[in-house]
Chains A and B, each alone.
Chain A
Amino acid sequence: MKQDIILAGVGGQGILSIAYVIDNAALADGLSFKQAEVHGMAQRGGAVQSHMRLSDGTIWSDLIPKGEADMILSVEPLEAVRYFDYLRPDGIVVTSSTPFKNIPDYPGLDQVLDAVRRAPRSVIVDSETLAKEAGTVKAQNIVLLGAASSFLILKEESLLRTIDALFRGRGPTVLEANLKAFALGKKAALGT
């Protein structure tokens, strides 16, 4: 059993929090994992990605070879398409439909979403609307994690327990919003 995931987004969108939750859930589930991430200059509003590898056996490379990712999980639609060359021909893309436009030549959103739909399987969720509904627009990353959760090899309770541990210190409102964001994301993904 193994699962290779490219986590994608723009610096500041909370990719590393998604990674943190998955890492801890993997540890709780007794899986091996390696998760390569980007620090430093790229975190300043640039494209960021994390290679997340889960397995019940040995994981050698920290990086996922091209064509081997089972999933692209992206908080931003253009960033989802950026890593298509990592996706297996039967892979799944789970992405937000909310564009992050901090560059002048951002393509038309319809064009971007059409490209996402060219993946063999794609799940597109309106993370901005769902996060607002959950109580904070900052929880878009957790909406996406919820959307991906049904396709992950991790136990949902392990993910939820880590989300609890991650946000409990920030007060009950923030925690509630993130748990709700997870649930809304999950529901939206299953409805598409």
Chain B
Amino acid sequence: MPRQILLGDEAVALGAVHAGLSAAYSYPGTPASEILEYLVRLAGATKAFPAVWSVNEKTAYEEALGASFAGKRALVSFKHVGLNVAADPFMNSAITGANGGFLVVSADDPGMHSSQNEQDSRYYVQFAQIFGFEPADHQEAYDMTRDAFDLSERLGLPVLMRLVTRLSHSRSAVETREPRPQNELKKGAGKDWILLPVNARRRFTRLLDAQREMVRISDESRFNVLELNERDRAFGVIASGIAYNYFREAVAAGAARPSFLKVSTYPLPEGLIRRLVAHVDTVLVLEDGYPFIEKQIKGLFGIAGKTVQGKLSGNLPASGELTPDIVRRALGLEARPSIEAGGLPLAGRPPQLCAGCPHADTFKALNKALEGSAGSNVFSDIGCYTLGALPPYNAIHSCVCMGASIGMARGASDVGLRPAVSVIGDSTFAHSGITPLLSAAAADSDMTVIILDNATTAMTGGQPTYGSGGRLLRMIEALGVAKEHIRTIEPLPKHHETNVQVIKDEIGHRGLSVIVAVRECVQEQRKRRS
């Protein structure tokens, strides 16, 4: 088949389709969004399978799990922190197991290009005790995805694919293979899927029993490559995922070619690691993310007579993403000469709200309304509006995780920090804002929630939203918020004075208010009109 130009994310998506995918679910999040974006485009053309933007990652996970229960091959994808949201079904799906092949794709963001932490999904692989893949390039992303579905069915367990931003958002050419047909419907057995303790204990034992087999599969995987250099017993390298590319880049640029092991699967290929470690005195571990491999190799006491280098030892920085330059230095190569900018002050150019963005008008009105109040405590959430933290708005004081703004405002208000204001987008509200608002409404907490309804999931490129327009207003009322304290504003410069007054009034109310700021995202408006 011809070579195709694909993002790393798209290579996974196409690999899944060619593996006989029957259903895919996701919630948008950088750097994972392009997986389902691509599947939506493919499904739109062929209608061969549902490709669904779910309301949040937990829902997406359960929907995919249901498809697996039905015997079909299913995929769920999200960014690394999305797996936190889906952690409950994720951990339990290791106990139920998978019926149809089940691939969980978690895209990590080392360096926090577009995230609030750089947690490493390989810990989740270990936590759930399932099998994981970590591709180094686009071809592997495609090939591993196809293998992962087969392996998931062979083991009867979900399999996780760990991506990182640099692969997710890199393009290259991929050689594809003949597609495989979809599975027939074949329902899972109740004794496996009803996690009453009597069943769960048996299923957990089965999971534990599968561990040795998984290590054996890892040791024999064609994606793990061991090369021993007979002339150099002093130094060797273990490199996983994209870090392997940086290692090979440095070798191609003139670094000595030491013994090395490329690690692409988890649990770790113990046999291969033993062989490499036995061969050399010092092992340098290169991995993008946390020192996951380094820590396991080193353990609490280290290895007698051997030196393990990596992030824990300080040979590589403990935070941020790896780069070819960092790896180069760790391998003892000098930095290359380059050009100096010659003293030009390189003014930073941070991201900012678009010209004409409705959030800008809401923040201006909010800032004005809070002027002169004893203090302002604006709890924000995850989305474009988090940019309200930057000048000229400086309008928010927290951003933690999806939906946190409402719960945090309530907690702060409970202990006397007022006025307590929460700012949350419509998609984030649907994702994780409904339950904390239900809780705040039951208590009639003294706080003001501002829902920015721009009718889309804007930051990640305009995916659909479930909590917009009339449906949003009906939901708020149904959650128990007093009707007279559900207010709607249109964030436009011409309504500034009115909007300030509405916000002031509701902040003045000693109970729960919800203000919905309704105006379509300017990017989406532009797309719709072009």
Contacts and interface: CB of A to CB of B under 8 A. Distances in A.
Interface of A: 10-11, 19, 23-24, 27, 32-47, 58-68, 78-79, 81-82, 84-89, 91, 102-103, 105-107, 111-112, 114-115, 118-120
A63 B354 contact: no
A85 B339 CA distance: 6
B5 A118 contact: no
Most interface-central of A36, A68, A103, A106 (chain B CB within 10 A): A36
Contact of A34 (B31, B172, B328): B172
B351 A45 contact: yes
A58 to B, nearest CB: 8
Interface stretch (B14-22, B243-251, B434-442, B508-516): B243-251
13 contacts: A34-B171, A35-B171, A38-B113, A40-B114, A42-B113, A44-B387, A46-B350, A46-B351, A47-B349, A66-B336, A84-B340, A89-B338, A119-B339
A41 B173 contact: no
B5 A81 contact: no
Contacts, number: 159
Interface string B220-264: 000000000000000000000010011011001100000000000
Interface residues of B, number: 51
B19 to A, nearest CB: 24
Interface stretch (B162-170, B406-414, B446-454, B489-497): B162-170
B170 A60 contact: no
Contacts of A37: 169-171
A41 B113 contact: yes
B348 interface: yes
B338 A62 contact: no
B169 A39 contact: yes
A102 B357 CA distance: 15
B352 A65 contact: no
B486 to A, nearest CB: 30
Contacts of B350: 46
B189 to A, nearest CB: 42
A114 B252 CA distance: 35
Nearest to A19: B171
A2 B493 CA distance: 52
B242 to A, nearest CB: 7
B529 to A, nearest CB: 14
A60 B337 contact: no
Given A40-B30, A65-B328, A88 B348 contact: no
A105 B340 CA distance: 21
Contacts of A23: 5, 171
A62 B321 CA distance: 13
Given A62-B245, A65-B249, A36 B354 contact: no
Given A34-B137, A78-B349, 4 more contacts: A37-B171, A41-B30, A41-B351, A82-B346
